[in-house]
Structure 1
């Protein structure tokens, strides 16, 4: 069960509140068909479109980290049994808090990829799940979210979705989903791409100014002390900016950008997007990601 305060407002539950792990074992439940139920830290991104929102969730089968993995003794509860030969499967599920019907999208034969759903703006509980019947293993990410309609003539930025780079740039969100990274993580020296949408514009002629920056976060204590004493200089964010004409008619505007940052060292970073338009407040979107050593 999630913390009690989340029962009143489940749409505000963070992934950690609904995480399947061993910190609160009495609150967990693992179904017989998947006794190894593991947290799955995939990407979740929201793309507002007027009175609706597109929800994207990536999925993958987490590595088995339970204490019996690698043991020589038989593990009867992981024997495929009657599930041998059943196809792997994954899905994304949205539970509306207004009591209406659950929305879902599912795929068979795969445990890694990305799925999306378009639903009316509102309050939901989201679950992205993957299951391997043969391995008796499943992964799950659950969280609540609230989406408000985007007013007309108000600039809105979607979340940032991290992708594998492609020689042929996708022109719409659906075409970018097959390139989505399973989680917000890359290796040192690895090129990646980002995708996002702008909505709420197209009611007048204007120019859009985009600013993208990548900066480290969670710096070490010694580094912070050195910067405070001015012994070392703070790391300067990597920045890129450009201008382009706004959309000619109302609707969502999809954008894609390859990022080649070979000098990023292992650690946590934030990629930040700022949209500036004349006469409006800046729209900002950011995603934290990690860089791992090869």
Structure 2
């Protein structure tokens, strides 16, 4: 399932009357109500030198103005042929940015309608005319930007790439920016990254500051986090790395998408758009935060109104790509994992990877055992089963074109049941300080177990990612969590993560644990749990420790657990075991496994808890969540 519903953007009312949102139908292409615009300073038109100012002769200026009239005429005609829907207002805005209302419409199944043939024909005519005019004014960056944008919009990516490769604009950085935009749409992420980095190196300082400013895409908490880091630039680089939706996929498509949005915004300056309003800071911000809509609809007012509105819609499946603060904001004493949840709902910015139709959450477990030279990280999960789905016929097809094909039924699979497909790609990654401390990749069968492990370097904090990806079905799943990898002094009493093993597993030692990790955290109500853990810092067999393990519901609060501990809250003894033993014969970790029965637990979420108490030390505890089905 997609992570979020479709995002809708519409212009707020710019004058009174029947039009609730959307420009009045009887205004000119750039007419606007001065009071509405001045009331939202961020929506004011950008104050930039007109593109015509670069022309060196009256003839060049006249050709440029003709190109602008042609572009304006196309957008005006586009409105006439947009798919129509009956309006009735729209939900309350989740956010207002300048003159624009933004809301998530709650429709997870929305797909764009095929573009009307008349609009396709009109765009083809416009491109032919712009090509002809460009031969007269080859150095006009505004005309060049229109050609790139409309070629990409038409799905003519090879033509757009060829044009960008032949770019002869005086400002070479614009050529690289547009080339990066096209490469991103072609899903050549490495090529896009290279082009964008060349553009950033050469662009004017003011534009560089805009394109690299984190303010548009980061919420207040993450902006504060970046500002508090010793090196804010390195911190921002780390955030971009973590925002990459899938480490298995080549390149960082979240960063290249961000640069692509800026390139799109650059091509839109002084150009007419379907919202029928001048380009301004608000349109630029919406584009950078959410991208440009993949489809447009024109809604007629109901109830006797005569106006209509134009709304831009984004494809469902976009999600929050930046990590939540709690995954990054660790304390010196904090070691326990913090799961990175893919939250739904309106976000400051969203992203839809060009190679995915859905990104799901893996159900599995991550565990750590401390070693002399690092931390052994183990991951186990069940790879998703592949049901019959819409397959991408061409890995390089433009996403908008693919969606149109899906709507038309061209790529829809037939039949039902498991789908015979190539192996899935799987990986275990550990990010530490903006670099990969672990990068393990393999191929696995769909629906089969996946167990991966690797030694991670010492680090205060990092992010672990378990991933699977099926490029053929454009589906991926992942589980990410922030956790500590700090060095532990040999005499410091500490406890490893608690790991679920396959029922009845009896590993001879920690080296065998990774091979018998349970790949699912779901269990039957009467199924015994087998678990493993390590204790560090017990110096000898004479140093005794008390071990207790029990099961409790995940939603139990502290007071409830305290009452149960005192014996007043129920039959806790039925799901509790305990023992006493000393440290290992040789200095090193004490490895132990144990089983605990489940007395016909009702379906729900639970935790198994291990508590270790040694004389002279505070109790240590570890937990592992599981679900009774």
Instruction: Please state which band the TM-score falls in when normalised by the shorter chain.
Output: 0.7 to 0.9
Retained in 2: the 8 A contact 1:205–1:246? yes
Q: Which residue of 1 aligns with 2:423?
A: 87
2:381 to 42, 50, 59: 59
Asked if 1:140 is matched to 2:478, the reply is: yes
Shift of 1:208: 2.6
Shift of 1:42: 1.9
Shift of 1:272: 0.9
Structure 2 SS opposite 1:43: strand
Segments of 4+ moved more than 6 angstroms: none
Structure 2 SS opposite 1:178: helix
Q: Report the Cα distance in structure 2 between the residues aligned to 1:290 and 1:35, rounded to whole angstroms.
A: 28
Shift of 1:78: 7.8
Q: Report the Cα distance in structure 1 between the residues aligned to 2:513 and 2:378, rounded to whole angstroms.
A: 11
2:339 to 15, 19, 34: 15
Asked if 1:107 is matched to 2:476, the reply is: no
Give the stretch that moved more between structures: 56-65 or 149-158: 56-65
Structure 2 SS opposite 1:38: strand
Structure 2 SS opposite 1:176: helix
Q: CA deviation digits over 1:110-133, x for unaligned, max 9?
A: 353221221222121221101234
Distance 1:102 1:159, change over 3 A: closer
Asked if 1:46 is matched to 2:368, the reply is: yes
Q: CA deviation digits over 1:55-109, x for unaligned, max 9?
A: 22223334689x99xx998473889xxxx96432211001110x55542222223
Larger RCO, structure (CA 8 Å, separation 6 or more):
1
Give the stretch that moved more between structures: 209-218 or 174-183: 174-183
Q: Which has the larger radius of gyration?
A: 2
- The two structures have a TM-score, normalised by structure 2, of 0.38
The structure with the greater share of residues assigned to helix is: 2
Distance 1:173 1:74, change over 3 A: farther
Distance 1:187 1:24, change over 3 A: farther
Retained in 1: the 8 A contact 2:507–2:516? no
Q: Which residue of 1 aligns with 2:351?
A: 28
Distance 1:73 1:177, change over 3 A: farther
Structure 2 SS opposite 1:285: strand
Asked if 1:200 is matched to 2:537, the reply is: yes
Q: Report the Cα distance in structure 1 between the residues aligned to 2:577 and 2:526, rounded to whole angstroms.
A: 19
Retained in 2: the 8 A contact 1:130–1:139? yes
Q: Which residue of 2 aligns with 1:230?
A: none
Q: Which residue of 1 aligns with 2:454?
A: 117
Shift of 1:216: 2.4
Asked if 1:5 is matched to 2:329, the reply is: no
Correspondence 1:122-271 to 2 at 5 A? 122=459, 123-166=461-504, 169-202=506-539, 205-218=542-555, 234-237=569-572, 238-271=575-608
Unaligned runs of 5+ in 1: 228-232
Retained in 1: the 8 A contact 2:437–2:457? no
Q: CA deviation digits over 1:191-210, x for unaligned, max 9?
A: 22111111233367422321
Distance 1:256 1:92, change over 3 A: same
Distance 1:256 1:179, change over 3 A: same
Correspondence 1:67-78 to 2 at 5 A? 74=409, 76=411
Distance 1:42 1:248, change over 3 A: same
Distance 1:180 1:73, change over 3 A: farther
